[in-house]
Structure 1
Amino acid sequence: MRRRVLAIASTLALLASPAFAAPSTTTLPPASLGTAAQLREQALKDDTGWKVVESLTTEIGPRIAGSEADARAVAWAVAKFKALGFDKVWTEPVEFPKWERRSESAQVVGKHAQPLAITALGGSPGGSVEAEVVRFADLAALQAAPEGSLKGKIAFVDYQMTAYRDGRDYGKGGAVRSKGPSEAIRKGAVGFVMRSAGTDSHRVPHTGITRFDEGLTPVPAAALSVPDANQLARLVALGTTRIKLDLDCGWDGKATSYNVIGEITGRSLPKEVVVIGGHLDSWDLGTGAVDDGAGVAITMAAGHLIGQLKQAPKRTIRVVAFANEEQGLYGGKAYAEAHAKDIALHQVSAESDFGAGRIYAFNTGSPNPEGSREATRQIAEVMKPLGIEYVADKGGPGPDIGPLAAKGGAWAWLAQDGSDYFHLHHTADDTLDKIDPAALAQNVAAYTVFAYLSAEAEGSFGSEAKPTTPPNE
């Protein structure tokens, strides 16, 4: 009997230990909820976000990573953070290979000679090729082509993306761009063209990064505008069609840019941070307004509005303008590596990188998310007047937050309406006039509420230094 009593006592003691304690529930102080509601209404009337994106796209314009304009954008971001009243501003270096676009053209040759609107894919080598075109309806059709069947020919993948609010079809359209060139080379192709990964019907092609698998000799690779892809498909249907592709572009050594960081220092837990941000670089065809000047502006404005409070939130608000997202998440990866030892101090992180459409859904996640469900629900309640729904089973981290989430960092998902995002994505049409100021202000309001309340929370959102696989957004 004595042994049994001792065993029961030992078991009860073990269950009462921290390792077996029930997870604590993270909640929000009532006073903070009231302040957040006031911030929400203030943000809807504030034009800081618009002024920031207007400044970036006007004064800097396109800013492809590693370019002179990219360097000016870094200096702009440092100055803008300071002008907006951030307590601390600094930069962290990010190194990467430098790719340049110089000129590009394409044309149908022979009986139906005519020009084609194309743009080189990022990462493509330069070169001039003229050959017969072989059309494939999608990537799977190219993958199924017999070995050697494209010897001396140009592969044309003609996959048409469909527009969705959540942009889900980009998974297929983007895969054509990232995997298609290598697959074409394996089949013997001397060049690669694709219908742009876009949902518009304008004669503006969409660029974006591609990769060539190790061991393959890269070939010129480009994207056709949607109308030109339609035209080329009709020509191929008429019979043998040849095109000439001339690209002057390629890799040119290495470059260094910078993650630019601004902070509003927390009042009682300053070492714990809520991270929000967007990426500072853009492609070179437009002025990078929706991708991702809007994200930089939304998060800078949110930090600025929180910084105007008479009393700072408990935790620090950290806004990051990430370097070179477009060519491989270099800024996000560098940030995650530089701050790997501080994962547990990252309360929660979110990136705005899906344009400037209104936010319609919200959720958070982490390796251990259950303790923060109530706080997430409370934040969503304050966001509800903005037309934002709490969706407990969806979402994922933004692109540059992904590397941090993979190391165990908690993330938030503020889902933007991307119904027309891929009309503009990576094109010359990505310009300031495409942004709706009212929708931008709604984004600023949502990010302000999220960042402030996350910083005020009593308890954590579950960040823990451990390898994990975050969900896709």
Structure 2
Amino acid sequence: MKRLLLVLVISCAPTAGPSGPHRAPEWISETKPYGTASAGSGPSGAAAAATASVPSPAAASAIAERYRGAVDKIVTAAHADREAYRKLSYLTDRIGNRLSGSAALGHAIAWAAQAMKEDGHDVHTETVMVPHWVRGVEAAEITAPISRSLHVLGLGGTIATPKAGITAPVVVVHDWAELDARRDAVKGAIVLYDVAMPKWSEDKGSGYGQTVEYRGRGASRAARHGAVAVLVRSVTAHSLRTPHTGAMNYEDGVEKIPALAVTVEDSTLIARLAAQGPVTVHLRADDQMLPDAESANVIGELRGRERPDEIVVISGHIDSWDVGQGAHDDGAGAVTMMQALTTIRKLGLQPRRTIRVVLFTNEENGLRGGRAYAKDHAAELPSTVLAVESDSGGFAPRGFSVQTKPEVRDRVKARVADIAALLRLISATRVTAGHGGADIEPMGPAGVPMVGLDTDGRTYFDIHHTEADTLDKVDPQALADDVAAVAALAYVVADMPERVDAP
């Protein structure tokens, strides 16, 4: 999904919580430390040499011609299949949202591992300790100059208010410069960041990246000037009075203050009132951070026939926020990867290299799963030829976003574009330089080329991190085509004689 600011938490061993002694989730009995999953899974220990040369048009065309038949089989099968949607239906309707540390995330991990085993894959899980933040009762209201309830959601990781709540005047700001300019008024006040996210456009996409920083850093920036709490306008360009939660962090050495998201409608109401005179708000939140909890990344593989120690990783994250169902973010990405591997296996296609599904835990409020994988598999990273991530919703595929070291970017992009040219049936032909994904990014410093599935995300941030991220928003055909795009890319890169980043 996008590059997010992270919640900073203090790691500690799991201890007895308020409900009694610690009990291991049901999947822990099947979880192995990395390196004990299967025989013969060690790294090759060598990375291909890299230069700045770009494949010639003739070479690129040869790649497409070599794999046209296999890609056509993959796309035809996946386009007509609805198994990814059936998997997503179970994950969302039967399990629901899956915040790190929750029992629901444990159920989702167990379900995903079992589903991949039933599809014939080699499966194991790898333990990860994750932050365990729990949402409590949250409420807010304008108390002057009018009485009006506000729709709010605590930002992930926020501290609680005092039990009686906080009542304070509101200072409305629209950027960092205005916050600093009004520092004297901010002391003892609630700061409202009324920062509008730009509407989606074809040339620029969403304005998420330029707006989300106020959600991520706003609490500590306001606390430096003595604010007692912050409200953050929901990071969306379209709203039906639905608040959007998301990750935030606290700076070391700065006092922690409560931070809540407020709807676009309520944010603009407060701003209009504040333009006319003083506004006072009362807010309350009894959210809490518990000791770290056990979780796991889920790993499923189709072993390569010739170079099994070389790996193509295809990934999404299995966790979600604790509102809605986590359907687009990122249930859709998780089932896309599960079904992509199953599609390849069912067609009897065994590539030269291993294709590995990784369903990461704790993307939303810590990235512990992605970081743990990169650390635990560090010896394998030189032989990881590509890492793919889907975290932009289960919308219709448009192509791929490529993120690599500069010296190999042109040739990786050219080869991915050559593969994407075979995906015209599902209109997934666009290839750009951009972000691969938050969970796979920790592999980047080791030189692993990264690719993000690019989807038609014009409506993604309408429901992102809200109660409205539910299964009914997912189009089964679009999800099936996401499977087709990922399966085709993964198979070709795993089977090509040369590495995708080779000279």
For normalisation by structure 1, the TM-score amounts to 0.89
Alignment of 1:297-336 (within 5 A): 297-336=335-374
Contact 2:417–2:431 (8 Å) recurs in 1: no
Is the contact made by 1:33 and 1:453 (CA closer than 8 Å) also made in structure 2? no
Who is 1:385 aligned against? 425
The 2-side partners of 1:139 and 1:21 are apart by: 42
Structure 1 position 395, deviation (Å)? 2.0
1:345 and 2:383 are equivalent in the alignment: yes
Farther-moved stretch of structure 1 (159-168 vs 35-44): 159-168
1:446 aligns with 2:485: yes
Deviations 1:90-114 (A, max 9, x none): 1111113321101100011134111
Task: Kindly state the Cα deviation for residue 290 of structure 1 after the two structures are TM-superposed.
Answer: 0.6
Stretches of structure 1 lacking an aligned partner (at least 5 in a row): 1-17, 465-473
Counterpart in the other structure of 2:253: 215
Q: CA distance change for structure 1 residues 20 and 324 in 2, over 3 Å: closer, same or farther?
A: closer
User: Aligned-pair distance for 1:46?
Assistant: 0.5
Q: Percent identity?
A: 37
Q: Distance in 1 between matches of 2:91 and 2:211?
A: 29
Separation in 1, partners of 2:167, 2:149: 13
User: What SS does the corresponding residue of 2:293 show, helix, strand or coil?
Assistant: strand
Query: What amino acid is the match of 1:101?
Result: R
Q: Which residue of 1 aligns with 2:216?
A: 178
Take 2:68 and 2:401, find their aligned partners in 1: how far apart are those partners? 17
Quote the Cα distance in structure 2 between the aligned partners of 1:282 and 1:100: 13
The whole-number CA distance in structure 2 between the counterparts of 1:120 and 1:433 is 25
Q: Is 1:66 the counterpart of 2:101 in the alignment?
A: yes
Aligned residues: 444
- Inter-CA distance 75–381: structure 2 relative to 1 (3 Å threshold): same
Task: Give the direction of change, closer, same or farther, for the CA distance of 1:108–1:346 in structure 2 (3 Å limit).
Answer: same
Match of 2:453 among 393, 414, 424: 414
Counterpart position of 2:154: 120
Change (3 A) 1:140 1:89: farther
1:416, distance to aligned residue in structure 2 (A): 1.2
Q: Residue 395 of structure 1: which of 418, 434, 451 is its match?
A: 434
Shift in alpha-carbon separation, 1:22–1:133, aligned structure 2, 3 A: closer
- The corresponding residue for 1:157 is 193
Please show how residues 187-266 of structure 1 align to structure 2 within 5 Å. 187-266=225-304
Q: Deviations over 1:396-415 (max 9, x none)?
A: 21111111123211112321
Residues of 1 paired with 2:322 and 2:451: CA distance?
Answer: 29
The superposition leaves residues 309-363 of structure 1 with CA deviations (integer Å, 9 ceiling, x where unpaired) of 2241111111111000001211111111111111121110111001112222335
Q: Deviation digits for residues 22-79 of structure 1, max 9, x if unmatched?
A: 9695863845331111111111101111111111001210111011111111111111
C-alpha distance in structure 2 between counterparts of 1:193 and 1:21, whole Å: 49
Is 2:124 the partner of 1:90? yes
Distance 2:50 2:139 in 1: 65
In structure 2, how many angstroms separate the alpha carbons of the residues matched to 1:361 and 1:462? Answer: 19
Change (3 A) 1:293 1:19: closer
Q: Following the alignment from structure 1 to structure 2, what is the Cα–Cα distance between the partners of residues 83 and 68? A: 23
Kept in 1: contact 2:305–2:352 (CA 8 A)? yes
For residue 463 of structure 2, what is the amino acid of its counterpart? L
Matching residue within 314, 326, 331 for 1:276: 314
Aligned mate of 1:105, from 139, 147, 152 = 139
CA deviations on 1:265-292 (whole Å, 9 max, x unpaired) are 1111111111111100011111100100
In 2 relative to 1, CA 302–135 (structure 1 residues): closer, same or farther, beyond 3 Å?
same
Change (3 A) 1:373 1:251: closer
- Tell me: CA distance 1:287–1:373, structure 2 relative to 1, closer, same or farther (3 Å): closer
Once residues 182 and 341 of structure 1 are traced to their aligned partners in structure 2, the CA distance between those partners, rounded to angstroms, is 38
Query: Which structure has the greater CA radius of gyration?
Result: 1
CA distance in 1, matches of 2:154, 2:64: 53
Structure 2 stretches of 5 or more lacking a match?
A: 1-47
* Counterpart Cα distance in 1 of 2:442 and 2:50: 30
Alignment partner of 1:102: what SS?
Answer: coil
Q: What residue is the counterpart of 1:470 in the other structure?
A: none
> CA distance change for structure 1 residues 163 and 261 in 2, over 3 Å: closer, same or farther?
farther
Specify the SS of the correspondent of 2:261: strand
User: Is the alpha carbon distance of 1:406 and 1:143 closer, same or farther for their aligned partners in structure 2, counting shifts above 3 Å?
Assistant: farther
Matched residue of 1:75: which SS? helix
After superposition, the Cα gap between the structure-2 partners of 1:149 and 1:20, relative to the gap in structure 1 and judged at 3 Å, is closer
Q: 1:104 to 1:463 in 2, by over 3 A?
A: farther
1:138 corresponds, among 159, 163, 175, to: 175
CA 1:371–1:114: 2 relative to 1, 3 Å: closer
Q: CA deviation at 1:370?
A: 4.3
Change (3 A) 1:197 1:140: farther
In structure 2, do the counterparts of structure 1 residues 177 and 19 end up closer, same or farther at CA, with 3 Å as the change threshold? closer
Q: Quick one: distance in 2 between partners of 1:309 and 1:218?
A: 54
Do the aligned residues in 1 keep the contact of 2:171 with 2:185 (CA within 8 Å)? Answer: no
Q: 1:250-278 deviations in whole A, cap 9, x for unaligned?
A: 21111121000111111111111111111
**What is the CA–CA distance in structure 2 between the aligned matches of 1:142 and 1:225, rounded to whole Å?**
20
Instruction: State the Cα deviation string for residues 362-385 of structure 1 (Å, max 9, x = none).
Output: 354433244445532320111233
Partner Cα separation in structure 2 for residue 102 and residue 154 of structure 1: 20
CA distance in 2, matches of 1:111, 1:333: 48
| Equivalent in the alignment of 1:40 | 75
Matches of 1:371 and 1:109, distance apart in 2: 60
Question: Could you tell me how far apart the structure 2 residues matched to 1:260 and 1:20 are?
Answer: 31
Contact 2:327–2:470, Cα closer than 8 Å, also in 1: yes
How far off its partner does 1:206 sit? 0.4
Query: Hey, what's the Cα distance between the residues in 1 that align with 2:300 and 2:413?
Result: 28
Asked if residue 431 in structure 1 is aligned to residue 470 in structure 2, the reply is: yes
Output the TM-score relative to the length of structure 2: 0.84
Contact 1:204–1:225 under 8 Å retained in 2: yes
Do the aligned partners of 1:121 and 1:221 also contact (CA within 8 Å) in 2? yes
The amino acid that maps onto 1:440 is L
Distance 1:391 1:119 in 2: 36
Equivalent of 1:376, from 413, 416, 422?
A: 416
**Compared CA separation, residues 266 and 429, structure 1 to 2 (3 A):** same
* Distance (whole Å) between structure 1 residues aligned to residue 49 and residue 105 of structure 2: 48
Task: Look up the equivalent residue of 1:389 and give its one-letter code.
Answer: T
